[in-house]
Amino acid sequence: MRVSRWRSALMVGLATAGVLLGGAGSASAEAANYVALGDSYSSGTGTREYIDDGSDCYRSNHAYPKLYANKIGLALNFQACSGAVTADVINNQLGALSSSTDYVTISIGGNDAGFAPVITQCAKPWPWTCTTEIANAQKFVRETLPGRLDSVYSKIKDKAPNAKVIVVGYPKLFNGEECNFLARISPQEQSDLNATADLIATTTKGRAGAHGFTFVDPRSAFTGHAVCDDVEWLNGLSDPIIESYHPNRAGHVAYTNLIASATKAKRLTPATNG
């Protein structure tokens, strides 16, 4: 397998260069191939600084795919794009995969469920509510999202049969506190939105497991670091608005460490705000 060849090459490189696993290391033709797929949670939207690549994908050098690739010494093909839904991954991102792909990460499904417009509705002032929108999103996650995830995961497996595939989930955004006057999301609405995040996580984990993929669940790690917590790993209402309710730089370090744990790699420290 290519992973075995990469590990052998890496050990030779470490012995020659005298560096520790997890360090920057030198580039090698044998570096494992890593393709990062998905939506804004993978592209790095929310980290305040973006790569000028001519796209509207809001890809960042502070995003977990970049951090993970740099830390392990992987050759990254960065496909994740802000706003992506499952169809976008299938139509626009999977061309980067091949039988020589060693690692794949993907976060997808939140946009399919319309999570952003649901939160926008919840943030409107009284007397607007978002009960109907949340119920509709949850119905979609239960009835439609599993099939869409299956379509994406099946195509990933077909195109990258030798890859270690890591499906990355979404955290719960809220802690029940109202701390932003301009985004009035009540404690009950926050609870209902968190319940929707739980439903997406359960659904995604189930479909990922059915395809033999590893699911990385950030919900426990992000507890105590939600919007309005003292140390936030997630942005609240932000300017520009697209950065709202996305992981900040500290959140992406946390994601990197979760993925590192899933692949038995060394953690990054410290996980500071950014």
The arithmetic mean of pLDDT across residues 261-265, rounded, is: 88
Considering the domain boundaries, does residue 211 fall inside one? yes
- Evaluate whether 61 touches 103 at the Cβ level (below 8 Å): no
Residue 267 structure tokens = 């953690």
pTM equals 0.86
On the question of pLDDT at 15 being above 90, the answer is no
Local confidence band at 145 (pLDDT 50, 70, 90 cut-offs): very high
On the question of pLDDT at 141 being above 80, the answer is yes
What is the pLDDT at residue 114?
96
Considering the domain boundaries, does residue 113 fall inside one? yes
- 3-state SS of the chain: helix, strand, coil percent to 5? 45, 10, 45
Residue 24 structure tokens = 């920057």
Q: What pLDDT digit, counting tens, does each position of 152-185 carry?
A: 999 999 999 999 999 999 999 999 988 877 788 9
Considering the domain boundaries, does residue 108 fall inside one? yes
What is the pLDDT at residue 12?
32
Backbone angles phi, psi at 35, to 5 degrees: -115, 125
What is the pLDDT at residue 4?
40
What is the domain-level CATH number for residue 89?
3.40.50.1110
Q: What pLDDT digit, counting tens, does each position of 178-206 carry?
A: 887 778 899 999 999 999 999 999 999 99
Strand-by-strand arrangement of the 164-168 sheet = 75-78, 33-38, 103-107, 164-168, 214-216
Q: Which sequence positions are flagged as catalytic?
A: 40, 246
Considering the domain boundaries, does residue 17 fall inside one? no
Q: Residue 83's domain spans which residues?
A: 30-262
Considering the domain boundaries, does residue 7 fall inside one? no
For the chain, what is the domain count? 1
